[in-house]
A and B are shown apart, each in its own frame.
Chain A
Amino acid sequence: MKKLAIVLSIVAFISACGGAGTDKKGADPYDSKSTTANGNPSYDPNRGEGKFTKVDVGATLDATLAATGEKVYGVKCSSCHKLTEEKLVGPGWKGVTSRHSGVWIMNFITNTDEMLNKDPKAQAQLEICLVRMPNQNLSDDDARALYEFQRKNDGVK
């Protein structure tokens, strides 16, 4: 028992000191409590962490924008994400726009590393996939176009 405690405290120590670039608050993946309770109190799990605070979405689909998004998907996303519900390397995209808010999605795909380090939903998904989503260096426009394509994929007309 004692041994285990020592091991755990070493693990905690190592992880606490790891990565100068990560946010020290709530960055400890071994203690889920600290993420929510001791973490950034202003953290909005529906918005995520990143540059986007809102996303203007039309009532109907912007087909041109969605087509642009589909092109970006082909180059940068399709290797790991299917358009069905099937998980490949990452989760299938069917229904993704109902699982997450648009602003959360756009923050996640443009600020991947930071979100994986602190966002509870992103971390839960990482536990399933075990492959950190690569940062594909999407532009803001790419991100918006991809979201429109996801809306199209989820049936928005």
Chain B
Amino acid sequence: MKSRKIITAAALGVSLLLGYTACKPKNAGNAVSSDAAAKAYVAPGKYDEFYNFVSGGFSGQLSTYGLPSGRLLRVIPVFSVDPEKGWGYSEETKPMLNTSHGFVPWDDLHHTELSQTNGEIDGRWVFGNANNTPRVARIDLKTFRTAEIIELPNSAGNHSSPFITENTEYVVAGTRFSVPPDDKNGDVPINTYKQNFKGTISFISVGKEDGKMDIAFQIQCPGVNFDLSHAGKGKSHGWFFFSCYNTEQANTLLEVNASQRDKDFIMAVNWKKAEEYLKAGKGRKQAVKYAHNSYSDKTHSATSEIKTEVTVLDAKELQDICYFIPCPKSPHGCDVDPTGEYIVGSGKLAALIPVFSFDKIQKAIADKAYAGDYDGIPVIKYEAALYGEVQKPGLGPLHTEFDGKGNAYTTFFVSSEVVKWNIKDLKVLDRAPTFYSVGHLCIPGGDSKKPNAKYLIAYNKITKDRYLPTGPELAQSAQLYDISGDKMQLILDFPTIGEPHYAQAVSADLIKGNSLKFFKIDENQNTYVSKGEGTTKVVRTGNKVDVYMTCIRSHFSPDNIEGVKAGDEVYFHVTNLEQDWDVPHGFAIKGANAAELLIMPGETQTLKWVAEKPGMFPFYCTDFCSALHQEMQGYIRVSPAGSNVPLLFSTGKNYPVADTAGKK
């Protein structure tokens, strides 16, 4: 009897304890129903239904997952070096990371955006932004490789990027930090922010066929922090919307000083009008310096060009390009519904969600329903632009995506939840807890005209106790919800690389059929290609030694190289002669102060290696290629500087021993 009492008391104590420790929104066990596993299950050997392109945050890369399984398919190196793939280490890829500041090996990729035609995802490219040294990258979805990177002048912290217009006419970039323009003296007191600092919005044009990027124009705006953006679509095509905060124009302790005003702004940009001004020659040519890097799948090499001019339109002078719309409390997300009529602003510190009407904005501009101006830019009256407010949706709204059925899904960082609400009547329909502190979310096509709303993925900022602990640094995490029914249903947690910010997803059918299997060796135009073993050679030019090498299962040619001298710079130009899918070869050499090469079939890649001292240096294939992969190796002999060992190279034959000591 007594013991039962003790047990009861203990149970009560435990449950009380649990009650205290469980300051999570809901118990995880309650949030998952029994059929969750079946819904996220993709049998071995079967393909996922969706590709999910997820920003890698501070990893600087972009990762590709399959949905609904959450399986990691590929990490695409973009802004950070990737020794595993030789990205930023091979001579061919180094120029991709060139900037006006020189070679930059790292960045912070926050948002991904798939190219669109007529407001629908077309599966050709995915764009990514570099948040630190401002750049935009275009990734080719035939090769799943970064094809182009363009730097942005007059910018710092490229955050509201790389969002696109409905036919991918433009990719935009808005500066998060306002800074003095590049052609002005930046050596000014920091507290002269109000006089000297400007915010810049860039419109990067995208070639219709080849995707080639070019900065068409920039718009100079008042100095504030531009945060996020989305293009108008349908009726609002021709307009772009940017959220901005720090309209207080604070330059220190922004946490407090940029949170003073009751409302900041969403800036509506009439880019069709800007185009007209550009055509009419209203732009100012400004001397700047920025890098434009492209990778060719024909030469298998990148080129970097430093450009020196950009055309800037002044938002203050050219009155009818930009309009400010008041938006409560430090707006972050700025999302446009599939019809293009509703613009949802999400104030990080707000407890409501304002929904603006494109028609009302147009009317307000026609009627000049302004509350005044901000640094020369008209400020539309809040009520004149407002469709309505979602009352008490949750705490700390951040981002919204749409299902194409009249509903919006908004993430709430502070209250850790995703809330589904109806756009027309602004009523909350459902809420689902996230674990924990959700940032961005993604519905396949959720920012396009045609969402494919089967799943919703929440990208969380905190994982705490969701996975096995791994020391102080824990797994980053995404959570998958089935949203095909009325209620959201959590079906899977999956870890992600870096820190995931925005992501996009698309039906795999749109992309998988276009995936390239190998590069045609006949079309390889690399300067140092060897088309066949018969053309391999080693050429000395002063202290530079070019090794024209081939590889095929399972040997290198040449695999014995002698006559290299200490101090020589050796360039291994390795061509993979294979012409089949999934047969890369790797190349690694002892002591290289770089990384390996990973050479796709039909491709040529080059590793620079300095022969620092006499000795024997082996090299080998790093990517398991056949039963005799472990035999795929070679030697390079390094003799002292000034030695008379002749330059010899071969495969499969032993030259007579001409010199054993490598004498001078």
Contacts and interface: CB of A to CB of B under 8 A. Distances in A.
A14 interface: no
B249 interface: no
B521 A75 contact: yes
A10 interface: no
A156 interface: no
A125 interface: no
Nearest to A130: B627
B627 to A, nearest CB: 6
Interface string B553-587: 11101000000000000000000011110010000
B535 interface: yes
Identify whether the interface residues of B are mostly helix, strand, loop, or mixed. loop
A100 interface: no
Contacts of A135: 579-580
B451 to A, nearest CB: 33
B532 A89 contact: no
A10 B554 CA distance: 30
A78 interface: yes
Interface string A13-38: 00000001000000000000000000
B628 A76 contact: no
B532 A76 contact: yes
A75 B557 CA distance: 13
A135 B627 CA distance: 16
Given A75-B522, A75-B532, A132-B626, A89 B580 contact: no
A134 B652 contact: no
Interface in A113-149: 130-132, 134-138
A137 B45 contact: no
A8 interface: no
B174 to A, nearest CB: 46
A53 interface: no
B579 A131 contact: no
Nearest to A82: B652
A119 to B, nearest CB: 18
Interface in A79-106: 79-80, 88-89
B552 interface: yes
A58 interface: no
B554 A136 contact: no
B237 interface: no
A80 B532 CA distance: 11
The residue among A75, A89, A130, A131 with the most chain B CB atoms within 10 A of its own CB is: A75
Contact of B553 (A74, A75, A131, A138): A131
B553 A134 contact: yes
B557 to A, nearest CB: 6
A122 B61 CA distance: 44
Interface in B519-561: 520-522, 531-535, 550, 552-555, 557
Contact of B579 (A20, A73, A88, A136): A136
A147 B579 CA distance: 19
Given A75-B532, A79-B532, A89-B555, A130 B628 contact: yes
Nearest to A80: B552
B120 to A, nearest CB: 33
A76 B553 CA distance: 12
A134 B626 CA distance: 10
A20 B47 CA distance: 14
Given A20-B45, A74-B534, A137-B518, A79 B580 contact: no
Contacts of B532: 73-76, 78-79
A130 B532 CA distance: 22
Nearest to A133: B553
B627 A79 contact: no
A137 B626 contact: no
B550 A89 contact: no
A32 B43 CA distance: 32
B601 to A, nearest CB: 9
Contacts of B554: 89, 131
A137 B533 CA distance: 18
B579 A134 contact: yes
Contacts of A138: 579
Given A78-B534, A79-B533, A79-B552, A131 B626 contact: yes
Interface string B621-660: 0000011100000000000000000000000100000000
Nearest to B556: A79
A16 to B, nearest CB: 16
B623 to A, nearest CB: 14
Contacts of B557: 79
A89 B626 CA distance: 12
Contacts of B583: 134
Contacts of B628: 130-131
Interface string B430-465: 000000000000000000000000000000000000
A113 to B, nearest CB: 9
Residue with the highest number of chain A CB atoms closer than 10 Å, among B518, B531, B577, B627: B577
Given A79-B550, A135-B580, 13 more contacts: A74-B531, A76-B577, A78-B532, A79-B532, A88-B652, A131-B626, A131-B627, A134-B553, A134-B579, A134-B580, A135-B579, A136-B580, A138-B579
Interface of B: 45, 518, 520-522, 531-535, 550, 552-555, 557, 577-580, 583, 626-628, 652
6 contacts: A74-B534, A76-B577, A78-B533, A131-B553, A132-B553, A134-B552
Closest CB pairs A-B (n = 6): A74-B532, A137-B579, A75-B532, A136-B579, A135-B580, A79-B552
